[in-house]
A and B are shown apart, each in its own frame.
Chain A
Amino acid sequence: GAVVSQHPSWVICKSGTSVKIECRSLDFQATTMFWYRQFPKQSLMLMATSNEGSKATYEQGVEKDKFLINHASLTLSTLTVTSAHPEDSSFYICSAAQEANEQFFGPGTRLTVL
């Protein structure tokens, strides 16, 4: 149980385009979902926390207009990178929590912006 999926697993896009990444909790309802960014050889950096039906809470320094998060249901959250640029290239990981204290992580999405 407690499986989280992400789609796509990797994506290549042109600079200036927008990319949407989906995060789904497959076998449980997630009250809260999280989006992380990971640079090579570094730890995870929390970008934002989202609760179903409400606006996401962004961490300091994360542009909310650039990284749009929608949490439409208890099993789906999406991250849209708008007007992507090469510096947005990264590994994006989502996680989902059913209750406090433990998150379940997705497999990650590799974004490359040309």
Chain B
Amino acid sequence: AQSVTQPDIHITVSEGASLELRCNYSYGATPYLFWYVQSPGQGLQLLLKYFSGDTLVQGIKGFEAEFKRSQSSFNLRKPSVHWSDAAEYFCAVVPGGSYIPTFGRGTSLIVHP
């Protein structure tokens, strides 16, 4: 069965600093990969997704993610974090042809002024 690992439960950064959130997956073939953000009491908002093609994916709010097949990773990055980026971030994996994602446990981003 596929699994998704987000090794960091919490990450704290200063406003303006760069950010990288890690995501590793375990699956036989290359799945479809997603990053979502969730603010307190809100639903999930899609930041970006990777289906195929260019392994560096640009998303909303200045986020990007890079798919590395050799490392089974899909890490999320942002060059300069804003206080409004404080939220919970979820990585998700969907096997090809499936409807149902497997979510990582989430990483809570804390931004210090």
- Residue-wise interface mask of B (31-46) relative to A, using a CB-CB cutoff of 8 A (1 in contact, 0 not): 0101010000111111
Contact A93 B43 (CB under 8 A): yes
Give the shortest distance, in Å, between B16 (CB) and chain A (any CB). 27
User: Is B87 at the interface (CB under 8 A from chain A)?
Assistant: no
Chain A binding surface, main DSSP class: strand
User: Is A8 at the interface (CB under 8 A from chain B)?
Assistant: no
Contact A49 B41 (CB under 8 A): no
Return the contact of A46 from the options B51, B100, B105, B106 (Cβ within 8 A): B100
Residues from chain A with a CB closer than 8 A to the CB of B49 are 102
Return the contact of A101 from the options B41, B43, B46, B98 (Cβ within 8 A): B98
Which bucket holds chain A's interface residue count? 20 to 34
Interchain pairs with CB closer than 8 A, number: 52
Contact B99 A49 (CB under 8 A): yes
User: Is A21 at the interface (CB under 8 A from chain B)?
Assistant: no
Contact A107 B43 (CB under 8 A): yes
Contact A100 B42 (CB under 8 A): no
User: Is B111 at the interface (CB under 8 A from chain A)?
Assistant: no
Residues of A within 8 A of B (CB): 6, 32, 34, 41-44, 46, 49, 91, 93, 97, 100-108, 110
